[in-house]
Homo-oligomer: A and B are copies of this chain.
């Protein structure tokens, strides 16, 4: 069987183009420029790269991009004061605090301080609750990207049997809610689940979000299933060369069985920033009482 490779590069570029079109429309029709503020505390090199990429993509989509950099030893109160300022700033529709925060800062308190209407990372419990209650919510970007990728293969997920492996607040749990909104039947499995291979083999849709390199084997997968691999596991190369990035799924085995699969790298990871832009457009529309955007 020749598996379809679900290409994150192409899909995220299409999504960004759709965001840019919506931004143009909102500017023209309503005179509003959606704005995203990113707060970076300290100078973790990986975070620096990520924040630069966000900045670039935000500007390319025609949105306003605001960057705030604070030293690693910033007092919690000062960080919270910045968030309060951004909450009150009408030019800012989305606020993202780059995680993890340096030691000594309380991430939970910082996330709680973000106005839920501007919480484009979807991590605020208010947004989790609104999502769980079927209300309008800003949802975490990675699960949003997973749904968009699955829907590249299946126009409707209704009635499909989906398994979500992993139950984190960031990915697994919101993904379950999004799948329920799509009318899929959802099983949530995790480290305490018995006979995970057998559970997995029943699923038409497999979402792997455990953070263990190549844990999901080829023979765990129902022939023809669609596999969305959220894992990005940095793994030392056996020959001492450059580290490799591996997914949670054993890709080479799986691609002989699946109908469609996302690669790592080049899969879900590329969707995250694009989904952040989607959330910022959705937040701006909701804040200004505009109709739901077409993205």
Contacts and interface: CB of A to CB of B under 8 A. Distances in A.
A217 interface: no
A2 interface: no
Given A126-B129, A130-B129, A169-B132, A185 B183 contact: no
30 contacts: A124-B129, A125-B129, A125-B133, A125-B135, A128-B132, A128-B133, A129-B129, A129-B130, A129-B132, A131-B132, A133-B169, A133-B173, A158-B192, A159-B192, A159-B194, A160-B194, A161-B194, A173-B177, A173-B180, A176-B188, A180-B190, A183-B190, A185-B187, A185-B189, A185-B190, A185-B193, A185-B194, A185-B199, A187-B188, A202-B202
A155 to B, nearest CB: 15
Interface string A97-136: 0000000000000000000000000001111111111110
A292 to B, nearest CB: 19
Interface of A: 124-135, 158-161, 167, 169, 173-174, 176-177, 180, 183, 185-190, 192-194, 199, 202
A229 to B, nearest CB: 20
Contacts of A159: 192-194
